[in-house]
C-alpha cells in the first residue's frame, strides 16, 4: 500500500515523464486538469509500458487465472470483419450482442419476433466455445416505433411478460446471464424519492414492473444468471453517490421480497477526464451489494477520451490508468465474477458517434486500436487481472 506522499511523488514523476511529450504546464492550463498531480490516474501509467503488450496470454487467460470472465460487446458489423473476429476470439471468453437482443432489433411488429441476428451471434459464440450474455429484456430505450401506439395501461404487463417469456425461452439454457432490467434508476431525472427513471414501463405499470420482469425471466430461463444492470455507479460525484444509494435500496427491496435477482451489472462507462474517484466509496458499495448475496459483473466498461488532450501517448496513458485504477478496486471484491468491455477495438465503438472528440480525431477508449493492435489499455487490464489478489 502506498502512502499519500508516495502517491503524490509518483504522480509528479509521471508528470515529469510527460514533459518529454508535452510541457506539463501548458497541458494543465490548456485542459484545466489542474487536479492531475493528485488525481488517481497519475501514479500508475508511468510503468505500464514495462509490463508489455507482446505476451502470449490474452485478456481471457489473465482473467481466468483469477477465476474471472473477460469478454466484450460486439455486433454483426464488427463480426463481419475477419481481423476483428480473430482478435475477439483471441481475447474474449464471453460475447454480449451490443444491440441485437433489444426490442428494436427483435420486434418488427407487436406480433412478430425476429431472432435472426441474435441467433447468428449465438451460433458464432457456440462454434468458438464462447459464452454469451443477453442484453436486455426491459429498458425504456431502443423500443420499436410501434410501441407507443400499441402499448397502454391495460395491456402493458401482458406485452412485457409475453416478450420476456418468448425471448428468454428462445435462448433458454444457452446464455450465461440476462440483463433483465436495464437503467431503471436515474436519480438526476427522477422526481421520486426512490430515483426511478421516468419510463413507459414505470408510467404504465408502476414500480412493480421491475420484479414482474425478474419473475418472468426466471420462469422462462431458470438457468441464466439474472442481472439488474445500471450506470453512473463509479465516481464520487453527487450524481453517482445518489445513484449508488438508490440502486442499493432497490436491490435490498427486491432481495427482501425474494425476487429472483442474482447479480448487479455495473456498466462503468468511465470518463478519462473525471478526477473524482473514491476507492473507499466504491469498495463499500461493492461490499454492500455482495452482502445481499449478489454477484457483480462489470458489464460495459470503457473510458471516453473525448475531453482529453489530442496527444495519443498522453491520452492512452490517462485512459489506461483510469482502467487500471478502477479495476484494481473492483477486483478486490470477491463477488465480482466478470469484466466486459463495451467493444474491444477502437474501430467499433459507440463512442465514435455518441461522444466524438471536438477536434475530430478518432476516439481511443478500448483495449485494441483500430488496426487490432494491443494498446496501453490492454496492458492496464491484463496487469489489473494479473495483480488481483483473489
Ligand atoms: O452501444 C449501443 C449503441 O450502438 C446503441 O445505438 C444504443 C441504443 O440502443 O445503445 C448502446 O449501448 C448502450 C447499452 O445498451 C446500455 N448502456 C449504455 C450503452 C451505451 O449507450
Ligand 1 contact via 267 beta carbon (within 6 Å): yes
Residue minimizing CA distance to atom 9 of ligand 1: 142
Could you tell me the CATH number of the domain that includes residue 90?
Answer: 3.20.20.80
Atom of ligand 1 nearest to the CA of 350: 1
Q: What is the pLDDT of residues 85-116, one digit of tens each?
A: 999 999 999 999 999 999 999 999 999 999 99
Quote the pLDDT of residue 36: 45
- Whether the pLDDT of residue 300 is over 50: the answer is yes
- The shares of helix, strand and coil residues in the chain, as percent rounded to the nearest 5, are 45, 15, 40
Count of CB atoms situated within 10 Å of the CB of 173: 9
Residue 341 CA to ligand 1 center (angstroms) comes to: 13
Split into its structural domains, the chain has a count of 1
How far does the centroid of ligand 1 lie from the alpha carbon of residue 354, in Å? 9
| Residue numbers of the domain that contains 269 | 4-387
Mutate to test the pocket of ligand 1, among 342, 345, 356 (most ligand atoms within 8 A of CB): 342
Q: Give pLDDT tens digits for 60-88.
A: 999 999 999 999 999 999 999 999 999 99
CB distance 157 to ligand 1 below 6 Å: no
Q: Is the CB of 350 under 6 A from ligand 1?
A: yes
Cell of 347: 474501430
Average pLDDT, whole number, for the chain? 91
Instruction: Please tell me the distance between residue 365's alpha carbon and the centre of ligand 1 in angstroms.
Output: 15
Residue nearest to atom 21 of ligand 1 (CA): 350
**CA 137, CA 110: separation in Å to the nearest integer?**
15
Q: Which atom of ligand 1 is nearest the CA belonging to 349?
A: 1
pLDDT digits (tens, 9 = 90+) for 146-187: 999 999 999 999 999 999 999 999 999 999 999 999 999 999
Which cell numbers hold the place of 134?
Answer: 443477453
CB of 98 closer than 6 angstroms to any ligand 1 atom: yes
- Concatenated DSSP letters of 270-291: EETT-----HHHHHHHHHHHHT
Tell me the best of 73, 78, 98 to mutate to test the pocket of ligand 1, counting ligand atoms within 8 Å of each CB and taking the most.
98
Q: How far is CA 320 from CA 156, 379, 388, in A?
A: 44, 8, 16
Pair 163, 107: CB distance under 8 Å: yes
Residue 354 CA: nearest ligand 1 atom is 21
Structural contact between residues 234 and 270, judged by C-beta atoms closer than 8 angstroms: yes
pLDDT of residue 48: 85
Residue nearest to atom 4 of ligand 1 (CA): 350
pLDDT level of residue 21 (50, 70, 90 thresholds): very low
Ligand 1 atom 19: the closest Cα is on which residue?
300
316 CB within 6 A, ligand 1:
no
Amino acid at each position: 500500500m502506498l502512502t499519500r506522499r508516495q502517491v503524490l511523488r509518483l504522480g509528479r514523476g509521471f508528470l515529469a515523464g510527460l514533459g518529454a511529450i508535452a510541457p506539463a504546464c501548458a497541458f494543465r492550463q490548456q485542459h484545466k486538469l489542474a487536479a492531475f498531480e493528485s488525481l488517481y490516474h497519475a501514479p500508475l501509467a508511468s510503468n505500464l509500458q514495462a509490463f508489455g503488450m507482446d505476451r502470449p496470454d490474452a485478456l481471457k487467460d489473465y482473467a481466468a487465472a483469477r477465476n474471472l470472465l473477460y469478454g466484450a460487446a460486439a455486433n454483426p458489423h464488427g463480426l463481419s470483419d475477419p481481423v476483428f473476429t480473430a482478435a475477439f476470439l483471441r481475447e474474449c471468453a464471453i460475447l454480449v450482442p451490443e444491440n441485437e437482443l433489444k426490442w428494436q432489433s427483435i420486434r418488427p411488429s407487436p406480433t412478430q419476433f425476429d431472432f435472426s441476428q441474435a441467433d447468428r451471434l449465438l451460433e458464432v459464440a457456440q462454434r468458438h466455445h464462447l459464452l454469451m450474455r443477453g442484453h436486455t429484456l426491459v429498458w425504456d430505450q431502443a423500443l420499436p416505433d410501434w410501441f407507443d401506439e400499441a402499448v397502454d395501461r391495460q395491456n402493458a404487463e401482458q406485452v412485457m411478460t409475453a416478450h420476456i417469456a418468448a425471448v428468454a425461452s428462445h435462448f433458454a439454457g444457452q446464455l450465461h446471464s440476462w440483463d433483465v432490467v436495464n437503467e431503471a434508476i436515474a436519480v438526476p431525472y427522477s422526481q421520486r424519492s426512490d430515483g426511478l427513471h421516468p419510463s413507459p414501463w414505470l408510467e404504465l405499470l408502476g414500480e412493480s414492473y421491475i420484479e414482474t420482469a425478474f419473475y418472468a425471466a426466471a420462469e422462462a430461463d431458470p438457468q441464466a444468471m439474472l442481472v439488474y444492470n445500471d450506470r453512473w455507479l463509479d465516481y464520487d460525484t453527487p450524481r453517482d453517490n445518489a445513484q449508488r444509494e438508490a440502486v442499493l435500496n432497490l436491490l435490498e427491496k427486491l432481495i427482501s421480497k425474494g425476487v429472483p435477482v442474482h447479480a448487479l451489472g455495473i456498466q462503468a462507462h468511465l470518463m478519462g477526464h473525471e478526477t473524482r474517484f473514491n476507492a473507499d466509496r466504491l469498495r463499500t458499495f461493492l461490499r454492500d451489494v455482495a452482502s445481499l448475496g449478489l454477484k457483480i459483473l462489470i458489464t460495459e466498461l470503457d473510458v471516453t477520451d473525448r475531453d482529453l488532450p489530442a496527444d495519443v501517448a498522453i491520452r492512452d496513458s490517462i485512459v489506461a490508468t483510469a482502467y487500471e485504477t478502477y479495476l484494481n478496486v473492483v477486483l478486490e471484491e470477491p463477488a465480482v465474477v466478470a469484466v466486459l468491455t463495451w467493444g474491444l477495438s477502437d474501430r467499433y465503438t459507440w463512442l465514435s458517434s455518441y461522444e466524438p472528440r471536438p477536434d475530430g480525431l478518432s476516439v481511443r477508449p478500448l483495449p485494441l486500436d483500430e488496426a487490432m493492435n494491443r494498446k496501453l489499455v490492454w496492458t492496464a487490464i491484463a496487469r489489473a487481472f494479473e495483480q488481483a489478489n483473489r
